[in-house]
């Protein structure tokens, strides 16, 4: 973790308790130092706190005019890295409930924090309600913020680590670091079961191909993020893992029956929902056996029927980006939003600052006026958001909504403030406990455990003294020397093709370790034929779905993520046995 925390702040007086402050932390063996009295208050006041949040959310929602309530259902993107007058005009005119930031909006840490703070000030000034400020920060290849946060690998690395405890830590640290920058809405974790190796959009974003593993890793991550006092979002319901089409560009079609979905795609969502999932993102996919007409985002059978009624989900439902071609190429934007809300969606997500905001706002207002949408449905959607805004605040401050109430209950406000202080004290203590165990780099523990061999078990490269290591990065060079490979046998690699000739040269007898990139497929596959009886092992910091050839003597180790720390992990792990990945891969040809 990047923030240095003085552990002295958490050494309490005699009698302090080391018992888990909540079920999730105890389940994953994280033991924060919290005073025994605070532990009891957290437990005893949880019920009254929840009741107070729901009561106040209902009161605030009832106080809002329709145009503000409709605005809350729309979340928007923005241009640039500052809170400009143009986004202020959008907030003032349309009252959006949230803003999503992408890499193009992200500057240095101080700039991001100021942007988010300015956006919150604008929203509070013009609507009286804070924003849910969201970001896709899944780890691995989906990272928007890179400064001031831990560079975690993605969900597939977590899945291959097989360690829900590390997933809990990852969810907590990710959400906590983002919260410090002003983000209170996290679009993670991915709970898709990647059971189609041709999937172009999910692949390494998924924990794996086994529903039980995805369930355990995804739920642990979610609970960690919740304990960090953020709003995590499980996605992409009801499952995007069995597609070979990217919904950004076209409408994927899945023909599985509901019974089949209950066997593979739905168990991770069910487990997370049963554990208290606060938000679900719905995918733009046509599930022909459930609704042969509407993409899942716009389907009452899937959102209201399957998600809410059959799985019992009571939290926030948000669409995937409405501009994605799976929806945008088939419906006018306003009509799509109406269909989504009628299906049971609470938030329509726009990723740009465009005229789509006006179109959706005007069309939803008209739909309520024409009785296409019952205003009670709007109220329910807004109330769910207000509940989370009261619970999670603006990212760095509590919001009690008193300015929107004619007369606020002072005792209720006191309860909200005091319980918020307890929650923050617990989160800070959890942060300290994790830092004491993992230091600044919990990502390293994940990457080390995540290393797997593609297609078959790897027996190990053998004695370092007899190895040749061909490196491209300083990380592999340093690790090779650190484990005892002779300096004369640690050699720079410019192109895998240069090894074809060396394969026949006596000077290079011995086993080889070769640092790979995803562009080395053809050269590696040729090398696999030329390697002879020596063991050649490639170190691949990326996707396991590429057609690297594996033989009895040519192996590839993988970390399922592009993070450079994974190279160090693979170099160290290559000396010993490494089990084969459980991820479903394409059949090897030749």
Catalytically active residues are 248, 320
Nearest one of 322, 317, 220 to 306, comparing CA atoms: 317
- Both tokens assigned to 459: 């027996």
Burial level of 519, CB count in 10 A (0-12/13-18/19+)? exposed
CA gyration radius for the chain? 25
* Strand segments (E) across 405-553: 452-453, 467-471, 490-492, 511-515, 536-540
Give the 3-state secondary structure of residue 436.
Answer: helix
Beta bridge partners of 103: none
Nearest one of 1, 31, 427 to 177, comparing CA atoms: 1
* Strand segments (E) across 72-131: 74-76, 98-101
> For 217, which DSSP code?
H
The helix-helix angle for 266-274 and 211-227 (nearest 10°) equals 30
Query: What are the b/e assignments for 526-540, b being 16+ CB within 10 Å?
Result: ebbeebeeebbbbbb
Q: What is the DSSP string of 119-158?
A: HHHHHHHHTSS--EEEE---BTTB-S--SSS-----HHHH
CA atoms lying within 13 Å on the CB side of residue 234: 38
Question: Could you tell me which residues come within 8 angstroms of residue 498 by beta carbon, excluding any fewer than 6 positions away?
Answer: none
Beta bridge partners of 539: 515, 557
- Both tokens assigned to 556: 């590839």
Query: Do residues 471 and 493 touch, judged by C-beta distance below 8 A?
Result: yes
- Both tokens assigned to 438: 């993992």
- Dihedral (C-alpha) 400, 402, 407, 410: value to the nearest 10 degrees? 40
Nearest one of 496, 509, 471, 491 to 549, comparing CA atoms: 496
**Residues listed for the chain:** 590
In whole angstroms, give the CA distance from residue 31 to residue 14: 17
Burial level of 125, CB count in 10 A (0-12/13-18/19+)? exposed
In whole angstroms, give the CA distance from residue 21 to residue 349: 35
- Both tokens assigned to 146: 């890179």
In whole angstroms, give the CA distance from residue 148 to residue 160: 26
């Amino acid at each position: 973790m990047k923030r240095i925390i003085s552990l002295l702040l958490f050494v309490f007086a005699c009698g302090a308790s080391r018992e888990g402050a909540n079920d999730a932390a105890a389940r994953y063996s994280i033991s924060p130092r919290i005073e025994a009295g605070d532990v009891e208050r957290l437990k005893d006041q949880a019920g009254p706190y929840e009741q107070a949040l729901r009561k106040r959310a209902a009161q605030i929602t009832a106080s809002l005019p329709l145009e503000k309530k409709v605005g809350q259902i729309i979340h928007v993107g923005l241009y640039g890295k500052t809170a400009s007058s143009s986004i202020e005009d959008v907030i003032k005119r349309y009252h959006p409930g949230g803003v999503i930031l992408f890499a193009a909006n992200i500057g240095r840490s101080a700039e991001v924090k100021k942007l988010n703070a300015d956006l919150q000030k604008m929203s509070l000034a013009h609507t009286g309600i804070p924003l849910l400020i969201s970001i896709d920060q899944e780890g691995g290849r989906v990272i928007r913020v890179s400064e001031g946060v831990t560079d975690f690998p993605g969900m597939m690395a977590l899945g291959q680590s097989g360690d829900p405890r590390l997933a809990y830590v990852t969810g907590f640290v990710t959400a906590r670091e983002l919260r410090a920058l002003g983000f209170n809405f996290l679009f993670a974790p991915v709970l898709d079961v990647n059971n189609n190796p041709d999937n172009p959009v999910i692949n390494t974003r998924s924990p794996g191909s086994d529903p039980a593993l995805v369930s355990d890793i995804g739920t642990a991550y979610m609970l960690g993020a919740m304990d960090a006092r953020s709003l995590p979002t499980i996605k992409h319901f009801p499952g995007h893992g069995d597609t070979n089409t990217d919904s950004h560009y076209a409408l994927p079609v899945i023909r599985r029956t509901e019974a089949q979905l209950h066997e593979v795609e739905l168990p991770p969502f069910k487990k997370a929902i049963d554990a208290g999932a606060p938000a679900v993102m719905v995918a733009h996919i046509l599930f022909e056996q459930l609704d042969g007409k509407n993409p899942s985002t716009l389907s009452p059978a899937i959102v209201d029927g399957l998600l809410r009624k059959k799985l019992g989900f009571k939290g926030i439902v948000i669409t995937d980006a409405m501009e994605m071609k799976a929806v945008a190429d088939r419906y006018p934007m306003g009509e799509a939003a109406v269909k989504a809300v009628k299906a049971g969606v609470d938030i329509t997500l726009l990723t740009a600052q465009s005229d789509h905001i006006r179109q959706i706002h005007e069309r939803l207002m008209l739909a309520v006026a024409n009785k296409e949408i019952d205003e009670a449905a709007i109220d329910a959607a807004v109330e769910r958001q207000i509940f989370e805004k009261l619970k999670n605040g603006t990212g760095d401050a509590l919001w009690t909504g008193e300015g929107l109430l004619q007369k606020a209950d002072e005792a209720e406000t006191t309860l909200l403030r005091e319980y918020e202080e307890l929650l923050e004290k617990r989160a800070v203590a959890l942060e300290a406990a994790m830092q004491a165990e993992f230091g600044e780099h919990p990502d390293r523990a994940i990457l080390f455990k995540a290393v797997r061999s593609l297609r078959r078990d790897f027996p190990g490269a053998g004695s370092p003294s007899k190895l040749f290591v061909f490196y491209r990065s300083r990380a592999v060079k340093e690790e090779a020397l650190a484990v005892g490979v002779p300096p004369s046998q640690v050699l720079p690699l410019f192109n895998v093709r240069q090894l074809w000739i060396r394969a026949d040269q006596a000077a290079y007898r011995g086993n080889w370790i070769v640092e790979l990139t995803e562009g080395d497929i053809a050269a590696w596959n040729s090398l696999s034929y030329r390697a002879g009886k020596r063991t050649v092992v490639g170190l691949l910091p990326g996707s396991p779905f590429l057609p690297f050839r594996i033989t009895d003597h040519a192996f590839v180790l993988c970390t399922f993520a592009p993070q450079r720390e994974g190279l160090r992990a693979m170099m160290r792990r290559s000396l010993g046995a490494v089990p084969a990945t459980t991820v479903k891969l394409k059949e090897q040809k030749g």
